[in-house]
Amino acid sequence: MRVFAASAFAAATVVACLPGWAQEIHIPTRSEFYEKSLGPYVTSPLEVVDDMLELAKVRPGELVYDLGSGDGRVLITAVQRFKARAVGIELSDDLARISTEKIAHLGLQSDARVINADVRNVDLSPADVVIMYLETDSNEKLRPKLEKSLRPGTRVVSHEYKVPGWKATKVAKADPGYGHVHTIYLYRMPPEKQ
């Protein structure tokens, strides 16, 4: 079960704790989250990010898409550790700005970028790997787009939540040591149906 801090649903301006900086970001109310987005902003622990990219067997030069890229941690890890290229799709203007600035600060802008848009309106067909940390109902809403857009062989990794109607190629557990064991689902396009 996804655990949300109460403050994640409070309308407020907070300081984002990204390594090496502090930025003010607006945390939308619960209704704002669900009105416009496919899920709230919840980060994946860095250890789980590594495990997701390893499970997908990301290779140098491949293109990783992160749907709801938040602070950019998946993009940055894909480029720095796996020598991949990465595109984040982020609905929040503030998070898109912060992650874009972080990518530039690290000098990774030739290999990583953030598209400030609704994932439902973005072409996903170039992706070799798609990373998602959305809820089950959001995965179900995106399933037709993924089936239509993604090329055979594209890997889809979902943190914590299954894609209804698809059978996972592999399921892994990740334990970053914070008292919660995370589940990671790997799918390969075209997906095997349940």
Q: For residue 25, what pLDDT is reported?
A: 54
Q: For residue 11, what pLDDT is reported?
A: 34
Is the model's pLDDT at 7 over the cut of 50? no
Query: What would the pLDDT profile of 152-190 be if each residue is shown by its tens digit?
Result: 999 999 999 999 999 999 999 999 888 889 999 999 999
Mean pLDDT value of segment 127-133: 97
Mean pLDDT of the chain: 85
Query: What would the pLDDT profile of 16-64 be if each residue is shown by its tens digit?
Result: 444 444 445 555 454 454 456 667 778 898 999 999 999 999 999 999 9
d(CA 77, CA 86): 9
Percentage of residues in the chain having pLDDT higher than 90:
73
Q: For residue 24, what pLDDT is reported?
A: 54
> Would you call 61 helix, strand, or coil by DSSP?
coil
Model confidence at 91, in pLDDT bands (50, 70, 90)? very high
Is the model's pLDDT at 142 over the cut of 90? yes
Q: For residue 20, what pLDDT is reported?
A: 46
Model confidence at 5, in pLDDT bands (50, 70, 90)? very low
d(CA 78, CA 72): 10
Pairing of strands 112-116, 21-27: unpaired
Is 46 in contact with 70 (CB distance < 8 Å)? no
Cα 191 versus chain centre, distance: 19
Query: What would the pLDDT profile of 93-120 be if each residue is shown by its tens digit?
Result: 999 999 999 999 999 999 999 999 999 9
Domains and CATH numbers, the chain: 38-193 (3.40.50.150)
d(CA 150, CA 124): 6
